[in-house]
């Protein structure tokens, strides 16, 4: 009678145990800024007030994986702590640092620009203009160092992934697929659309106090540069 109303199994946010040392907090099932703001808010709250046994938190688009030491605490205690932190959530939006990324859209660096334009019913310059107009948020890190997934690609240039990936895509390639954009940091295969290349250094040295240019929750704006400027920036 006096306790909280039962939560529907599919309601959000919800907590799921992961193995014996983590809890996955799910806020939704879509790439949505409001959902991701909740992820970033809880991540920040944990960083400011970690519980005993807290190890790390790993943010994604719609969830936060909270890892803990099972010799210090347990799932139930962690879930109770997370529930308390989420109850304090003001619902206000988050705003990280603004990072600028330079990009050159010359044909040599943008092998998919013309095809992406045709698929979108636009000209290549329209695609460039749309890409530059986007407001991007750093949503999560992927499987490679500095592989930051940026949400916010404008609707006009949201294309599905290619049917097959291609190999040997150079580091610095600016690629898009659906609502996501990414600047590659290593030479690797991709099935996304390659529309430019950036000389901006994403991977940072130990002496700079941060491993990557971006933090999850930061905002990103792209700035167009010429090939001449690209060559000057890309020099060691």
Domains of the chain by residue range: 14-87, 98-234
pLDDT tens digits for 110-154?
999 999 999 999 999 999 999 999 999 999 998 888 999 999 999
* Burial of 48 from C-beta contacts in 10 A (0-12 / 13-18 / 19+): exposed
Does the pTM surpass 0.75? The reply is: yes
The CA distance from 129 to 217, in Å, is 24
pLDDT tens digits for range 63-84: 999 999 999 999 999 999 999 9
CATH 3.40.640.10 fits 98-234, yes or no: no
Class of domain 14-87: alpha beta
The secondary structure of 86-134, three-state, reads HHCCCCCCCCCCEEEEEEECCHHHCCCHHHHHHHHCCCHHHHHHHHHHC
């Amino acid at each position: 009678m006096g306790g909280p109303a039962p939560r529907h199994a599919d309601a959000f946010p919800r907590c799921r145990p992961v193995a014996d040392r983590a809890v996955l907090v799910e806020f939704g099932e879509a790439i949505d800024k409001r959902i991701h703001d909740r992820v970033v808010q809880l991540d920040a709250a944990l960083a400011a007030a970690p519980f005993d046994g807290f190890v790390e938190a790993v943010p994604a688009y719609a969830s936060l994986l909270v890892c803990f030491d099972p010799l210090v605490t347990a799932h139930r205690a962690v879930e109770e702590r997370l529930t308390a932190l989420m109850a304090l959530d003001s619902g206000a939006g988050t705003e990280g640092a603004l990072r600028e990324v330079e990009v050159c859209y010359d044909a040599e660096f943008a092998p998919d620009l013309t095809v992406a334009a045709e698929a979108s019913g636009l000209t290549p310059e329209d695609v460039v203009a749309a890409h530059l107009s986007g407001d991007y948020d750093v949503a999560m890190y992927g499987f490679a160092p500095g592989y930051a997934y940026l949400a916010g690609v404008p609707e006009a240039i949201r294309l599905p992934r290619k049917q097959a990936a291609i190999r040997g895509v150079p580091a610095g390639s600016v690629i898009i697929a659906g609502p996501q954009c990414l600047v590659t940091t290593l030479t690797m295969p991709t099935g996304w659309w390659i529309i430019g290349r950036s000389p901006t250094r994403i991977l940072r040295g130990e002496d700079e106090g941060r491993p990557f240019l971006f933090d999850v929750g930061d905002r990103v704006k792209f700035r167009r540069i010429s090939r001449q400027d690209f060559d000057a920036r890309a020099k060691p």
